[in-house]
Amino acid sequence: MRRQALQRAAAAARPAVSRRTFVARAAYEAARKMMPKISDTERVALGCGTVGFDREIFSGKPSLENLLTTYAPLVTLTDEEKSFLANETEELCGLVDDFKVLEDKDFSDEVWRFMRRQGFFALKIPKEWGGKGFSTAATSAVLVKLGTASSDLASTVAVPNSLGPGELLVRYGTPEQQKYYLPLLADGTFIPCFGLTGIHSGSDATSLIGSYGVVEERDGEIGVKCTFDKRYITLAPVAGLVGIGFELQDPNNLLKGNGEEGFTVALLERSHDNLEMGPRHCPLHAAFMNGTVKGSDVWVPMDAILGGQERCGFGWHMFVECLAEGRGVSLPAMAVGLGKGAAPMVGAYARARKQFKVPIAEFGGVQEALALMASDGYIAMASTELMNAIVDNHEAPMVLSSIMKQNVTNRGRDIINHAMDVSGGAGISMGASNYLGSAYMSFPIAITVEGANIMTRSFQIIGQGLMRCHPHLLDVVEALQSDSGDAPSKFMAGVKNMASHGATNFGRSVVAGVKDAVSLKGGETGSMKPDAFVKLHEDRLQRLSANFAVAADLALLLGGRLKFEEMFMGRLADAIGAVFLGYGCLHHYARNHDKVDAGLQRVAEHALLRLEAEAFEALKHAADNVPKMPAGAHHVVGSVLRTAVAPLGDFGATTKAPTDALTKATADLLTTRDSDYVSTLLLPGVYTSGAYQKEVLGALSLCLEADAIERACKRARKHPTADEQKILEAAAAARDRIVQVQAFEKLGHAERAPGHVRPALAQTDAWLADEPAAREAAAA
């Protein structure tokens, strides 16, 4: 009886199972038609790098506790690293006259020798090969300090310590290559460079048009005949060793399965036959070496292929995994240098500089610019410390490195722009005392290199992030790309997981949104205890992360069209970028709030309020601008996203920009001594030993004291005492010295030529000499 009952139940279930199988197959086939085929290059890229905290954001519930547990121990420098910063790095900064470097378009013999012999090009090469073996955090700190003395100095040191032959050799070189090249790189005999960008590449690093190599056999040995035309290669004009990326072809199957076709890297010394290196570009009149690398029918022995023959076709793995360091560490370090170096200088200058008999530090417009400099500087510093720790944890997060590159370099540009606005003529007039002009002119380079920010924001962050970091999408895509019999069932399982993921984040978003709307904790949080401050802002960032996860899930409804909706993707990139930077700020604050006074909470609050508002506004704009979908579905999608982001509309919104009172208080961090934030967290990591830096920073206390005396005398309607008058006179003298700018008797190559007279003056003299005769002729 029981057996018959089971058989009847099984028979009754078969139609339902059959229907489900039919539906799964139909849905699978429909989705497969919509899904574009993943190219081999895209498939390789998906397998490169690592995924970590970025997946937590896509999941909708990132954890600050996990960040602190995993990465907080990795931000501390060793005694050796601290000594290198305090001694060798400080000495190198002192050897460089930034204005002279700009004029000469090169460093002195002494500077080049010092960089090479003191290991500045081998900071990441392990000690066993003669390098420094420094952590990523230490390398970043060196770049930050160098950047505060000379942006060209930082650029020169950055490249060999991020994406270059040294890093690639350590990871992928054969034992023979490591034994020969690494000691020569470590002692500075070879300066390295990496030749990837071709004349048609732009921001598409995968484009190797014009760079190719064909496997051939000569004298019984196989090798590669290469042709390439590279440009924008930093250090190429002085490099002794270049890594060349090219597309390898093996039409005659000479590799015989040991290696394969595709992107390949070769190591060539400067003296290699038919290799042309030397001509320079002039990137915005910066002085760092940048130029071309060309070769036609260059013979490359197989032992010159990085990693040997078995690594033929493995170049994208090498490149992508090393790229995280250049994009996520080296370039953001330039922005950190501005936040830690330029911001305190501009703050002190604003206190010393007077207009209408009032220090410009008291002007509301100036305070607004200074506060933005302070909080952007804090965002750059905090997020960079977190990113450095992630890389030191042996991770290569492609999405996070893209977020860092685009967001932090953009904020660095904002910092230098605000600095120029406040400094006025002192920032415009070039000379030995101009500490901003060089960075201002060259910072757009950081925006452009290693993937232009405009492309990184509008395409790369979300395009990569959805595939790599979404907890379920890759399973669905792999099922769609598969021809196996169980692919439809795997596809449906993935779709169910995605639907559950979306519903969970939607519910979490609505609940958190309503809770925030009716709470009394909106707006500023600066008076809170540290633990409560961290808890409240993490709750807000988790809510925004859940909002973002809903937006990312809804974006998938666009299918293959999503990659062409770059404005929409750009808004989502703004949201995830702000959330990650917010966690960087919380990670930093949680580790340091007991080491610094309340000034740290002030700048952290200003930064977090701005980031939360940026993420919220980006998601609202995304909801208002969902790309058109069939049957008006985009209206429904927009409404769903709008409900997730702001379930009660604008009522009780907690993502508000900083108030004017907080903005003024944040600006005061740079222009007064009411906090040890600047002296504890900013100045120790920058170069302050230059004559002008000492003058400006040293004048801050004196000018504050003089301002206080003037206010007291005005209130009391009395004259200053003799001692007070001395302070006032000393402050006035300091102010006079600080506002001076350099003037040149002769400027430019033409004027320096013997006997040169400015053409306009010569013309005036000639015309004045001819004028009497002309008047007499006219009168006659």
Which residue, among 38, 70, 40, 36, has the nearest Cα to 53 in the 3D structure?
A: 70
Which residue, among 208, 203, 206, has the nearest Cα to 229 in the 3D structure?
A: 208
* Integer angstrom CA distances of residue 454 from 409, 416, 448, 573, 625: 12, 19, 9, 11, 19
For position 17, what pLDDT does the model report? Answer: 45
**Separation of alpha carbons 399 and 163, rounded Å:** 17
**Separation of alpha carbons 57 and 60, rounded Å:** 5
Spatial CB neighbours of 424, under 8 Å, sequence gap ≥ 6 = none
Structure tokens at 283: 């990137």
Contact 122, 186 (CB under 8 A): yes
For position 94, what pLDDT does the model report? Answer: 96
In the chain, how long is the greatest CA-to-CA distance? Answer: 139
| Residues with catalytic function | 450
Average pLDDT, the chain: 90
Which residue, among 608, 581, 605, 590, has the nearest Cα to 68 in the 3D structure?
A: 590
Structure tokens at 418: 């605000």
**Separation of alpha carbons 417 and 411, rounded Å:** 10
Task: Give the Cβ contact number of residue 12 at 10 Å.
Answer: 9
pTM of the model: 0.92
Structure tokens at 646: 């702001």
Contact 512, 543 (CB under 8 A): yes
Q: Which residues of the chain are modeled with pLDDT < 50?
A: 13-19
Strands 290-301 and 241-249: unpaired
* Integer angstrom CA distances of residue 8 from 2, 12, 16, 21: 10, 6, 14, 20
Contact 689, 632 (CB under 8 A): no
Contact 115, 106 (CB under 8 A): no
Helix (H, G, I), strand (E, B), or coil: what is residue 653?
coil
**Separation of alpha carbons 385 and 458, rounded Å:** 25
For position 16, what pLDDT does the model report? Answer: 46
Give the model confidence (pLDDT) of 262-295 as tens digits.
999 999 999 999 999 989 999 999 999 999 999 9
Spatial CB neighbours of 195, under 8 Å, sequence gap ≥ 6 = 228, 230, 233, 236, 242, 243, 244, 245, 293
For position 522, what pLDDT does the model report? Answer: 57
Spatial CB neighbours of 12, under 8 Å, sequence gap ≥ 6 = none
Which residue, among 468, 477, 472, 462, has the nearest Cα to 499 in the 3D structure?
A: 472
Contact 59, 472 (CB under 8 A): no
**Separation of alpha carbons 298 and 462, rounded Å:** 39
For position 44, what pLDDT does the model report? Answer: 67
